[in-house]
Amino acid sequence: MSRIQNVSRRGFLQGMLSGGALVLGAYFSPGVVRAAPTVDTPADRAAFHPNVFLGIETDGTVYIIAHRSEMGNGSRTALPRVLADELDADWNRVRIVQAVGDPRYGSQDTDASASIRESFEIMREAGASARFMLLRAAAVQWSVPVSECGSGLHVVRHAPTDRQSTYGDLASAASRLPVPKKEDLQFKPRSAWRYIGKDASLYDLEDICTGKAQYGNDVRLEGMVYASIERPPVLGGKVKSCQDQEALRVPGVRQTVLIEPFKPPHALQPLGGVAVIADNTWAAFQGRKKIKVVWENGPNAAYNSDQFKKELQQTARQPGLVVRNEGDVDAEFAKGGKIFEAEYYLPHLAHATMEPPVAVADVRDAQITVWVPTQNPQSVQETVAQAMGMPKENVTCHVTLLGDGFGRKSFGDFAVEAAVLSKKLGQPVKVVWSREDDIKFDYYLPVAAVYLKAALNSGGKPTAWLQRSAFPPINSTFDATAIHGGWELKGNWIEAPYDIPNLRIENGPAQAHVRLGWLRAVASNYHTFAVQSFVDELAHHAGRDPLEYLLDLWGPPRILNLNPPHYPPEPGHPLDIGRLRRVAEMAAEKAGWGKRRLGQGHGLGIAAQRYSFTYVASVVEVEVTDKGELRIPRIDTAVDAGTAINPAYIKAQLEGAAVFGTSIARSGEITATNGAIDQSNFYDYPVARITEAPYQTNVYVLDSEAPPSGVGEPGVSVIPPALSNAIFAATGKRIRELPLSKHRLQ
């Protein structure tokens, strides 16, 4: 797929470079003509620049490009370490350079827990090809066969003559050599890995702890003004009239600007509204309180969550679109016998990233520069370019650190707002979203109703299994007519890795009335909650141990091959029931499942899944007090994400996922009344604090030689069902609808 080519580029730079270095370019997908890179990085300018991800200066400084976004996921550290490992570079001499949006890096979309999975090989290739060229350069200098040369830390050595040369010294000579073909590269054996599999701190750790780290909200430009935008409370609403006289009297307020409503589908376009422009954020916020906008709301004003819930539950009870079908579920159900059915429900969720959306734009003539905490800078380029009617090559998107992403910052609507305003005002503009804006104008996780039905044999094991979900699809954001799930149905929902002969999976239609989007762990939040709760219910129904029942349901260790078109297999990531069993058994063993003595009011619950090709299981311990208060003393999570790059941050991600999942389970609920979102800030959209979070999450990383998979999301969606199952174990109370705050637990 990816290939590093010897393409000469940017000859005009050569005169500026030490050693008259030849600057080489590297491209993905050979044959595809790419747009010219918009920004030279220190890596591009370095003396030795064998590919787009890397540059080595003659002083030995190694510049490595971070092409994915950093939002706490750790990829800005992990991916450069993969490259540094193959290069045999000294990590202390590595400087990481954040990439602007630029197709020469391939996909920069930082979502779906995919950064490591999608970039591992190309980073290794980039490092290995540079190392190969450094070895060759040394061999030529010493007139020895390259096969006798080897790399040490930041040096090339020739053992027979005991000679050594540093990477810095070799940089210029290496730059004059051809880039090797991938077939000729020698990759390190796993046993020689320096960094892969070893714990590492974040590259930005000290900057974060000292307040120096630059997030989107920290960008300041000369002559920059601040904007706060009053947006239509109902999706598709338009400004009927606006009175801004009082706002203009607020000291520091300069003017108001109308932002046009979007043309359906809304996709990544701004919602429209009225922007208040001011000298600082506070003045913009104050001015905004004083404008009076009358809205024309449109048809989505009929959206009421209570009513919609009833409709959605009704839909989930009806036959839907069949997306997978094996055996004959109906015939099995018709036999009668023991039939068990249950319905589950999850409301909309908001992302509530610690840093609300924010963007700075500077539009000058035909050049648009934006600074955005974005998960997808190339998408920002495209979206901004489209909105401004300019080619995307004219848009430079700088990626700052992100104060969380969770999928919200995959949507570049806020960057477009900034660009539109900067163009109108002719000066740099920062658009600041308040927390209220963030909660009220999110791309919400869809609300979902899930219906499950099983016919059970005498041992309580299902002989037929029907799972059906209904939710407005995320694809409605891009296609106004979409009513069926697409992407949501893939992954672990359609995989349904059960040893059951008759199995059917269906999807019911639903219309979207608010903006919908991906939120960490996406559809597995409702699907895994339903399925893993249902399995626990079946186990108790059969009088069996939930862990033993789960293992029986999956069946013996094997590779499960699902037939296309249901589930086109992902190369390198077969569905391995053995790995799934192993994480469940490991989490249970570490948690003392069935062995540990628990106090009064305590209970254990388990849930497991494969998500983003990662196998994960959590055992949650709860304590429910006499007053019905819930505490989570401990969670044990086992994770198999294939080859572990940075185990320290795999653990951190899974610890964090436990807290994120706890927030969803305890209090995550977004509702709408007459089309407008009811919640607005952390007082009515609470997230877990230190007092509500699990006290201790122990994470066990099962390293393997399988290709690396993702760790950002998988750990999130096992938590709500494991927590709910633990509450059942502690109290006998079964929760089929989240959040828990709606229920009395005593």
Partner 1 sequence: MIQVKVNGVERSFHGDREMPLLWYLRDVLGLTGTKFACGMALCGACTVHRDGEAIRSCVVPVRDVAGAEITTIEGIAEKGLHPVQKAWMEFNVPQCGYCQAGQIMQAIALLRSKARPSDQDIDELMSGNICRCGTYQRIRAAIKAAAKGAS
Quick note: the x/- pattern for partner 1 over 244-263, rule CB under 8 A, is: -------xx-----------
Matching residue, tokens 């399988």: 706
- According to CB under 8 A, which one of 16, 153, 192, 205 is a site residue for partner 1? 205
Phi, psi of 365 (to 5 degrees): 50, -120
- According to CB under 8 A, which one of 290, 317, 435, 544 is a site residue for partner 1? 435
Rounded CA-CA distance 250/253 in Å is 6
Q: Is 65 left (phi over 0), alpha (psi -120 to 50) or beta?
A: beta
The pair of three-digit structure tokens given for residue 232, joined into one six-digit string? 């239509």
Q: In this complex, which beta carbon is closest to partner 1, that of residue 213 or of residue 342? A: 213
User: How many CA atoms, within 13 angstroms, populate the side-chain half-sphere of residue 367?
Assistant: 7
- According to CB under 8 A, which one of 17, 46, 64, 71 is a site residue for partner 1? 71
Quick note: the x/- pattern for partner 1 over 13-32, rule CB under 8 A, is: --------------------
Q: How far is CA 733 from the centre of its chain?
A: 33
> Least distance in Å: CB of 720 to partner 1?
14
Q: Which stretch binds partner 1 (CB under 8 A): 126-134, 164-172, 346-354, 735-743?
A: 346-354
> Least distance in Å: CB of 655 to partner 1?
6
Q: Is 349 helix (H, G, I), strand (E, B) or coil?
A: strand
394 secondary structure, DSSP code: G
- According to CB under 8 A, which one of 297, 369, 396, 653 is a site residue for partner 1? 653
> Least distance in Å: CB of 213 to partner 1?
6
The pair of three-digit structure tokens given for residue 94, joined into one six-digit string? 């590595």
> Least distance in Å: CB of 212 to partner 1?
7
Rounded CA-CA distance 504/732 in Å is 30
60 touches 167 (CB < 8 A):
yes
206 touches 397 (CB < 8 A):
no
Q: In this complex, which beta carbon is closest to partner 1, that of residue 190 or of residue 289? A: 289
> Least distance in Å: CB of 281 to partner 1?
5
When asked if residue 72 is in the footprint of partner 1 (CB under 8 A), the reply is yes
Residue 707: CB atoms within 10 Å: 17
When asked if residue 344 is in the footprint of partner 1 (CB under 8 A), the reply is no
- According to CB under 8 A, which one of 215, 386, 480, 736 is a site residue for partner 1? 215
> Least distance in Å: CB of 691 to partner 1?
5
Q: Is 309 helix (H, G, I), strand (E, B) or coil?
A: helix
455 touches 332 (CB < 8 A):
yes
- According to CB under 8 A, which one of 674, 696, 741, 746 is a site residue for partner 1? 696
When asked if residue 639 is in the footprint of partner 1 (CB under 8 A), the reply is no
> Least distance in Å: CB of 183 to partner 1?
39
551: closest CA among 577, 587, 533, 530?
Answer: 577
Q: Which stretch binds partner 1 (CB under 8 A): 155-163, 282-290, 391-399, 667-675?
A: 282-290
Q: Which stretch binds partner 1 (CB under 8 A): 142-150, 492-500, 565-573, 684-692?
A: 684-692
Contacts of residues 57-61 at CB distance under 8 Å and 24 or more positions apart, as own/partner, are: 57/18, 57/168, 57/171, 58/18, 58/19, 58/168, 58/169, 58/171, 58/172, 59/168, 60/93, 60/154, 60/166, 60/167, 60/168, 60/171, 61/93, 61/95, 61/168
Q: Which stretch binds partner 1 (CB under 8 A): 97-105, 138-146, 204-212, 229-237?
A: 204-212
530: closest CA among 371, 698, 344?
Answer: 344
In three-state form (DSSP H/G/I as H, E/B as E, the rest C), the secondary structure along 156-202 is EEEHHHCEEEEHHHHHHHHHCCCCCCHHHCCCCCHHHCCCCCCCCCC
Q: Which stretch binds partner 1 (CB under 8 A): 185-193, 545-553, 582-590, 677-685?
A: 677-685
Matching residue, tokens 């429900």: 345
When asked if residue 701 is in the footprint of partner 1 (CB under 8 A), the reply is no
137 touches 170 (CB < 8 A):
yes
Q: In this complex, which beta carbon is closest to partner 1, that of residue 352 or of residue 584? A: 352
Which string of b and e fits 326-345 if b means at least 16 CB within 10 Å?
beebeebbeeeeeebebbbb
Q: In this complex, which beta carbon is closest to partner 1, that of residue 208 or of residue 321? A: 208
> Least distance in Å: CB of 396 to partner 1?
22
When asked if residue 681 is in the footprint of partner 1 (CB under 8 A), the reply is yes
Interface with partner 1 in residues 173-202 (CB under 8 A):
201-202
> Least distance in Å: CB of 286 to partner 1?
8
> Least distance in Å: CB of 690 to partner 1?
4
Phi, psi of 648 (to 5 degrees): -60, -40
At residue 731's C-alpha, the angle toward residues 727 and 736, to 5°, is 50
Quick note: the x/- pattern for partner 1 over 394-433, rule CB under 8 A, is: -------xxxxxx-------------------------x-
Q: In this complex, which beta carbon is closest to partner 1, that of residue 478 or of residue 695? A: 695
Rounded CA-CA distance 274/227 in Å is 10
When asked if residue 218 is in the footprint of partner 1 (CB under 8 A), the reply is yes
- According to CB under 8 A, which one of 50, 180, 320, 356 is a site residue for partner 1? 356
When asked if residue 522 is in the footprint of partner 1 (CB under 8 A), the reply is no
When computed from its CA atoms, the radius of gyration of the chain, rounded to whole angstroms, is 27
Q: Which stretch binds partner 1 (CB under 8 A): 132-140, 262-270, 680-688, 725-733?
A: 680-688
> Least distance in Å: CB of 198 to partner 1?
13
Interface with partner 1 in residues 436-465 (CB under 8 A):
436
How close are the terminal C-alpha atoms of the chain, in Å?
Answer: 56
Q: Is 290 left (phi over 0), alpha (psi -120 to 50) or beta?
A: alpha
When asked if residue 683 is in the footprint of partner 1 (CB under 8 A), the reply is yes
- According to CB under 8 A, which one of 305, 697, 709, 724 is a site residue for partner 1? 697
- According to CB under 8 A, which one of 193, 285, 340, 700 is a site residue for partner 1? 285
> Least distance in Å: CB of 95 to partner 1?
19
Number of residues that bind partner 1 (CB under 8 A): 68
CA dihedral sign, ordered 152, 157, 161, 163: negative
216: closest CA among 446, 385, 400?
Answer: 400
Q: In this complex, which beta carbon is closest to partner 1, that of residue 212 or of residue 335? A: 212
When asked if residue 650 is in the footprint of partner 1 (CB under 8 A), the reply is no
> Least distance in Å: CB of 248 to partner 1?
15
238 touches 261 (CB < 8 A):
yes
- According to CB under 8 A, which one of 534, 660, 675, 701 is a site residue for partner 1? 660
131: closest CA among 170, 81, 75?
Answer: 170
Q: In this complex, which beta carbon is closest to partner 1, that of residue 434 or of residue 524? A: 434
Q: In this complex, which beta carbon is closest to partner 1, that of residue 54 or of residue 716? A: 716
- According to CB under 8 A, which one of 318, 682, 703, 741 is a site residue for partner 1? 682
The site for partner 1 (CB under 8 A) is made up of 70-74, 201-202, 204-206, 208-215, 217-218, 220, 226, 251-252, 280-283, 285, 352-356, 401-406, 432, 434-436, 648-649, 652-653, 655-660, 662, 681-683, 687-691, 693-697
